[in-house]
C-alpha cells in the first residue's frame, strides 16, 4: 500500500507538471506573419501625418504585436489590431517595423526572438516641397528709379 501511494503521488506530480496529455505547457509557435503598411510614406505640408496599419495572417491568440522605430523605441502596442498616426519633424525620416512576440516590453528594444517580423516601412517628412520665386520690376537702380 505504501508503494502504491508513492507511485500515485509521483504520477500526480507528473500530470501536474506536464499536463494531462504529457506535453509541456509552452506556447505554441505563432506560425503566422505580420505586415505593416502606411497611407503616406512621404510627408509634407499637404500631408503632415501618416497612418501605419498592422495586419496579421492569423489571429494573435496569446501573442502581442508592437511597432518599434529604428531607434529601438516602442511606438505602439495594440491589444489586437490597429493603427498608429505618425507625425515627424521636418526633414527627418523614421523606419518602423512590427513584431509579433510573447511580450512587447515598452522600455526595451524589439523582442530578441520574435515569432514574426514585418518588412520595414520608412516615413520621410520632406517639409515644404513647393517653390518660391522672386521677381523685381527693375534690375538696375538709378536716380529715376531708386527702388525696385
Question: HEC profile for 6-58?
Answer: HHHHHHHHHHHHHCCCCCCCCCCCCCCCEEEEECCCEECCCCCCEEEEEEECC
Residue 57 pLDDT grade (very low, low, confident, very high; cuts 50, 70, 90):
very high
pLDDT of residue 79: 59
User: Which grid cell is 44?
Assistant: 509634407
pLDDT of residue 42: 94
User: Which grid cell is 98?
Assistant: 512590427
Tell me which residue of 90, 81, 99 sits closest to 49, measured CA to CA: 90
Q: Please give the Cα distance from 74 to 125 (Å, whole number).
A: 20
Query: What number is the average pLDDT over the span 59-76?
Result: 90
Query: What number is the average pLDDT over the span 140-148?
Result: 76
**Statement: residue 102 has pLDDT above 70:** yes
Amino acid at each position: 500500500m505504501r508503494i502504491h501511494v508513492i507511485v500515485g503521488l509521483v504520477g500526480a506530480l507528473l500530470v501536474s507538471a506536464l499536463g494531462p496529455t504529457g506535453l509541456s505547457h509552452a506556447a505554441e509557435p505563432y506560425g503566422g506573419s505580420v505586415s505593416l503598411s502606411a497611407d503616406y510614406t512621404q510627408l509634407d505640408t499637404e500631408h503632415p501625418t501618416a497612418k501605419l496599419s498592422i495586419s496579421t495572417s492569423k489571429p494573435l491568440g496569446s501573442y502581442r504585436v508592437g511597432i518599434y522605430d529604428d531607434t529601438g523605441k516602442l511606438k505602439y502596442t495594440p491589444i489586437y489590431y490597429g493603427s498608429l498616426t505618425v507625425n515627424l519633424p521636418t526633414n527627418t525620416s523614421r523606419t518602423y517595423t512590427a513584431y509579433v512576440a510573447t511580450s512587447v516590453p515598452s522600455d526595451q528594444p524589439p523582442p530578441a526572438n520574435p515569432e514574426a517580423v514585418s518588412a520595414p516601412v520608412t516615413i520621410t517628412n520632406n517639409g515644404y516641397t513647393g517653390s518660391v520665386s522672386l521677381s523685381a520690376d527693375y534690375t538696375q537702380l538709378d536716380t529715376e528709379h531708386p527702388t525696385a
